[in-house]
Amino acid sequence: TNIILGNNLKIVHCNIYVKGNNNTISIDDNSILRNTKLEIVGNNCSIKIGKDCMIGDNCYLSAKENNTHLSIGDDCGLSRNVKVMTSDGHPIFQNNIRINDAKNVEIQNHIWIADNVTILKGVTICNGSVVGINSTVTRTIPAQCIAVGNPAIVVKQNIYWKS
């Protein structure tokens, strides 16, 4: 396991759990993590957090199953109780064929994720977007949009936000 830490980090009361081989966790410069759980279960997996990110209390970032990657770009804010997962946690089969493969998650740059949001496997949240409180993101959110609800849908376009 490789753990790569940038400069000027503030990591407070976090748990890191890694099971498997050839896995990487990287946290870039000037990021803050509070009471966050980072979990990798599988081989050749990664969790990457970019520069100038703030990950709030009780967040859960999970890359489970082989060859899965969870990436968070630069200047992102995840509020409290945000869950981001590359896997459903258990395989589900229909006619002896797995129907819920794990998939990567990408949170691009300058994203704001409000309290109690869940981001599921296969999702990309594109640059400059916002996800509203208590939302469940099941599909890609385009750039510069606000998405809310369960499942989250785009309610505003062509937005920008300031930290």
**Residues 6 or more apart whose Cβ sits within 8 Å of residue 156:** 145, 146
The pLDDT score that the predictor gives to residue 88 is 94
10-residue mean pLDDT series, the chain (163 residues): 94 96 98 97 98 97 98 98 96 95 98 98 98 98 98 97 87
**pLDDT at residue 127, as a whole number:** 98
Q: What is the pTM of this model?
A: 0.95
- pLDDT of res. 80: 97
Residue 14 is given by DSSP the state -
CB 80 within 8 A of CB 56: yes
Three-state DSSP class for residue 115: coil
Radius of gyration from C-alpha coordinates of the chain: 15
C-alpha count within 13 angstroms, C-beta hemisphere, residue 43:
1
